Amino acid sequence: MSPMHRVILLAVSLSIAAFPQPRFADYPATESFQGTPAPPVLTTPEQRNYRTRIRNGVAKGEGVWTGSWRKPVPHKTPNFAGHYFVIRWGCGSDCLMMAVVDAKTGKVHGSPMPGPSTSFVLEMDPLTDREIDFQPDSRLMILRNACRNARSQCGVYHFHFTDGQFHLIKTK
């Protein structure tokens, strides 16, 4: 290995160490849900437009899972941040949609990076492996190969979900 390659490798290693990747354990859920979930409260025309997907997600577990798109593990209970349902569905060849519903209150939230036409759309890079990573006991959500601005700013986005809102904490 040449001296120049060693310098580059050292610089990359130091930058990775200086900015560690957020971990699920760093954002633990503060509570977990037990019991019968509240029915979704559909307050906007957009939420009512997707009422069947949202209601069936909460009531029947349709579109609710953990794991990857390729190996989903069905979940009929809250699968995110202790007491939230993340409900996912497709809307075309390179389109994904999701809603986040509070099992305690029924309040419905859109995706962390809403698309231009609806808050439930999540723009993803169609030429890569798309993934949404989260866990039932963590408030961290990682969007792998998600895009902003008409698929021009694609990358890995880390969000912290607190007080009913997604907060961007890191982009790669």
Per-residue pLDDT tens for 54-113? 999 999 999 999 887 778 889 899 999 999 999 999 877 667 899 999 999 999 999 998
Domain count, the chain: 1
- Residue 127: inside a domain: yes
Q: Flag whether pLDDT at 1 surpasses 60.
A: no
- Residue 51: inside a domain: yes
Helix (H, G, I), strand (E, B) or coil at 78: coil
Range of the domain at 38: 30-171
- Residue 76: inside a domain: yes
Q: Counting Cβ atoms within 10 Å, is residue 35 exposed (0-12), middle (13-18) or buried (19+)?
A: exposed
Sorted by sequence, the CB contacts under 8 Å of residue 113 that are 6+ apart come out as 122, 123, 143, 146, 148, 157
Query: Is 55:39 a contact under the CB 8 Å cutoff?
Result: yes
- Residue 11: inside a domain: no
Which pLDDT score is estimated for 19?
64
